[in-house]
Amino acid sequence: MTVAYQYVCVSCAAPQAWGALCYRCPLCGHNLRIENMREKGDDAPSSGAEIVAGFRGTGMWRYAPLLPVSACWASRLAVGGTPLLTLGDDEGVHLWIKDDSRNPSGSLKDRATELVLAAAKWFGCSRVVAASTGNAGASLACIAASQQMPATVVVPRHTPYVKLAQIRAYGAQLHVIDGNYDDAFDLATGMADAPEVCCRNTGFNPFTREGKKTCAFEIAEALDWDVPDWVVVPTGDGNILSGIAAGFLALYAWGIATRVPRLLAAQASSSHSIAHDWLVSEASGALPAVPTPMVPNTVADSLSVARPRDHLAALQALRMTRGACAIVTDAQIMASSQLMSHRHGLWFEPSAAAGHAALSDSISSGRIARGARVVLLGTGSGLKDPHAYERVACDTPEITQPRDTVPSSIFPGDTPDARVRGRP
Ligand SMILES: *Cc1c(COP(=O)(O)O)cnc(C)c1O
Ligand SMILES: [Zn+2]
């Protein structure tokens, strides 16, 4: 099967020829989309079954027939293929969680990095650079190491310690700058001026979105192509949001799925540019081309962006999926983090827990109906930011001295004399 691709501007729709690594529209400067020309064809539904029959193996490269870069790239780390865990009836909805913390570097970012590096090699790049709030950098360092590709990562101050440790452990060059993610973003873009340097900046590199599509493919296939009613997407730059939408829309275009799930973007209250602009656009009918800037200050560091870098594509994703946004506070996020760990044995970093907080909020407001089938994205592991937990678990655990008597309270919830009373 020969599939033809082209770059298309997300804003003015100007096409750009395939064959080189392109980042921005030369006419208006907006991000690019990668368009599969056959998806638009009338023959699409009849070839859906043929595409599914071509899915081979495990992990994200299983979906190579729907990706713009060939899988002949020698991937060494198993990216994707993460479990869709059934949490059963929870909070009145039928709930699953896509546990993407099980990726090689512990976050969903690995899907984007894997595809970006495949494209980088394809287009002849030998080095790679990225700005990051932490996870994209850890992911780049990890997967670049597996390909012996030199990598440089630029992060803002106050990046969680473990994410910095990951970047260094994998051997990437780390630049911590006295500024925010925006400053890091611009610096990294400048570092990738030479043609042999690939820039992995989220949204700016169109292959980041393409890699994240595979998460939607896996969710759909795990449910036998019967897609859920809602997918809840923790949202900062908006690239996971636009990637998940692109994935489900591709399945729909090929006739592989008969519906598209609605997407709920979960944003932190100090960093809710996309939610803000979505409300404005619902009132005015037009999507704002420039994001409303925020001054982020949230425990959800992966959602902490002043100007979302995939803003327009994220708003388009909400429009195409009849989506919605929910804004959550740090207190709601940490309550959800604790609930997920206690009730389900799933410890996610605050940014991922924001999705659960957004779900609770949307159930109480009636936006998500009881009985709905809902998938949460577990975008990153709790091990990546253990200090966030100190904000909820402020009590230092009691240190017991070894002695003859067993403490009277052994299990959580025991009253001090429960054990004594429980004895015959
Ligand atoms: C990057 C990230 C997000 C947000 O993704 P965007 O594409 O920036 O919207 C959410 N959760 C985690 C754990 C992340 O690393
Ligand atoms: Zn343009």
Q: Report how many helices (DSSP H) and strands (DSSP E) the chain contains, helices first.
A: 13, 13
* Ligand 2 centroid, distance to 7 Cα (angstroms): 11
What pLDDT is recorded for position 406? Answer: 76
Q: How far is CA 414 from CA 180, 398, 408, 424, in A?
A: 45, 15, 8, 17
What pLDDT is recorded for position 335? Answer: 95
What pLDDT is recorded for position 131? Answer: 97
Neighbours of ion ligand 2 (CB under 5 A): 9, 11-12, 14, 25, 27-28, 30
Contact 320, 245 (CB under 8 A): yes
Residue 398 banded pLDDT, cuts 50, 70, 90: low
What pLDDT is recorded for position 1? Answer: 41
Give tens-digit pLDDT for 52-110.
999 999 999 999 999 999 765 667 899 999 999 999 998 899 999 999 999 999 999 99
Q: Is 25 in the pocket of ligand 1 (CB under 6 A)?
A: no
Contact 312, 327 (CB under 8 A): no
Separation of CA 359 from chain center:
16
Residue 418 banded pLDDT, cuts 50, 70, 90: low
Which residue is it, tokens 């760990």? Answer: 341
Residue 308: pLDDT above 90? yes
Give tens-digit pLDDT for 327-354.
999 999 999 999 999 999 999 999 999 9
Q: How far apart are CA 234 and CA 348, in angstroms?
A: 12
Q: Is 237 in the pocket of ligand 1 (CB under 6 A)?
A: yes
Average pLDDT, the chain: 92
Q: Is 236 in the pocket of ligand 1 (CB under 6 A)?
A: yes
What pLDDT is recorded for position 76? Answer: 83
Which residue is it, tokens 């690939």? Answer: 198
Specify the range with the lowest mean pLDDT, choosing from 50-54, 234-238, 382-386, 414-418. Answer: 414-418
Q: What is the mean pLDDT of residues 309-314?
A: 98
Better pLDDT: 237 or 402: 237
Give tens-digit pLDDT for 150-170.
999 999 998 999 999 999 999
Q: How far apart are CA 226 and CA 224, in angstroms?
A: 5
Q: What domains can be seen in the chain, in order of their start residue? A: 84-104+208-389 (3.40.50.1100), 108-199 (3.40.50.1100)
Residue 43 in tokens: 């023959």
Tell which one of 237, 277, 349, 381 to mutate to probe ligand 1, the residue whose CB is within 8 A of the most ligand atoms. 237
What pLDDT is recorded for position 415? Answer: 75
Q: How far apart are CA 416 and CA 408, in angstroms?
A: 5
What pLDDT is recorded for position 407? Answer: 74
Closest-approaching ligand to the CA atom of 203: 1
Q: What is the mean pLDDT of residues 379-401?
A: 76
What pLDDT is recorded for position 19? Answer: 85
Give tens-digit pLDDT for 358-379.
999 999 999 999 999 999 999 9
